[in-house]
């Protein structure tokens, strides 16, 4: 294991990948290999193998994912390729070449009647193509890279980059007089820069120990606190001083192709205790997002 790690960021053009790119300036001694699908197609096993043989990354941070939740219902094959086949190829390469893999997953794999924050050992009940493919990808990581594969399930991810709920509310709030947003789906928004910062701190701690065993398994990370999509939208409207009215509605009044979990607040005690992380409240993240996108 090198003194200064080489990090491969797959899905580098997505919102989480771009957060790692922005933070890379704070780690000048580390090498960041930023690979969008134009550089590395993770669904191509031979391409993955050639990339490892050439660059020998110590860490792979898999930010590549098919995240079009509703469209996945009509494009299951594409979702399977990106969310299952790709992660399996990465896990195989990491296991064979002695690399560590951090894979990002979703709260949508949990769809039970929860009312307390969900722990990592909770039963999974995915109800959509997106959620089922993400769960299958998680299992591929744990099966093919059992001693150095870290699956981080997060929730309601947004950032200053790309397409996400926060940007959509900000845009539509300037175009319309009223936005109707569901209030009966409960979770926690996660500001992607906060997740990326936490992951780099975990790598910093783990790499210094010259072993990957401490990261293996399933972990939860989101910002602290609890809210509905309506609460999140209202906070965005207040911070951005949007002229529209935000009206709460039930999920049945806004039908979607994919079913969403009614409650998916994640318990983060495990990751906080293991790595000494201090996690900020989701409102702090939203305030930072509002400033970044002013």
- Contact at 8 Å (CB) between 11 and 40? no
Q: What angle (nearest 5°) sits at the alpha carbon of residue 179, between those of residues 173 and 183? A: 125
Encoding tokens for residue 90?
Answer: 């990465």
CA neighbor of 69 nearest in space, from 109, 124, 102: 109
| Strand (E) or helix (H) holding 78 | helix 76-80
**DSSP state, 281?**
B
130 included as an active-site residue:
yes
- Give the span between the Cα atoms of 77 and 83, in whole angstroms: 10
What are the backbone dihedrals phi and psi of residue 237, each rounded to the nearest 5 degrees, phi first?
Answer: -60, -40
CA angle 106, 109, 113 (to 5 degrees): 125
Active-site residue, from 108, 130, 161, 191: 130
The catalytic residue positions are 130
């Amino acid at each position: 294991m090198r003194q200064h790690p080489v990090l491969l960021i797959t899905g580098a053009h997505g919102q989480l990948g771009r957060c790692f790119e922005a933070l890379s300036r704070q780690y000048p001694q580390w090498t960041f290999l930023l690979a969008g699908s134009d550089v590395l197609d993770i669904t191509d096993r031979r391409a993955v193998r050639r990339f490892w043989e050439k660059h020998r990354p110590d860490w792979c941070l898999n930010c590549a994912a098919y995240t079009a939740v509703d469209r996945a219902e009509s494009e299951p094959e594409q979702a399977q390729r990106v969310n299952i086949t790709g992660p399996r190829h990465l896990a195989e390469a990491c296991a064979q070449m002695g690399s560590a893999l951090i894979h990002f997953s979703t709260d949508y794999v949990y769809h039970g009647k929860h009312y307390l924050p969900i722990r990592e050992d909770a039963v999974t009940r995915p109800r959509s193509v997106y959620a089922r493919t993400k769960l299958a990808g998680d299992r591929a990581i744990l099966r093919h890279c059992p001693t150095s594969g870290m699956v981080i399930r997060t929730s309601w991810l947004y950032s200053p980059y790309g397409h996400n709920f926060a940007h959509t509310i900000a845009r539509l709030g300037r175009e319309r007089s009223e936005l109707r947003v569901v209030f009966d789906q409960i979770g926690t928004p996660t500001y992607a820069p906060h997740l990326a910062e936490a992951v780099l701190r975990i790598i910093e701690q783990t790499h210094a120990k010259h072993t990957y065993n401490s990261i293996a398994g399933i972990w939860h990370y989101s910002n602290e606190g609890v809210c509905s999509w309506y609460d999140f939208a209202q906070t965005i409207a207040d911070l951005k001083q949007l002229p529209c009215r935000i009206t709460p509605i039930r999920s049945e009044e806004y039908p979607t192709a994919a079913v969403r979990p009614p409650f998916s607040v994640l318990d983060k005690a495990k990751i906080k205790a293991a790595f000494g992380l201090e996690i900020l409240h989701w409102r702090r993240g939203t305030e930072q997002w509002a400033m970044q996108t002013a």
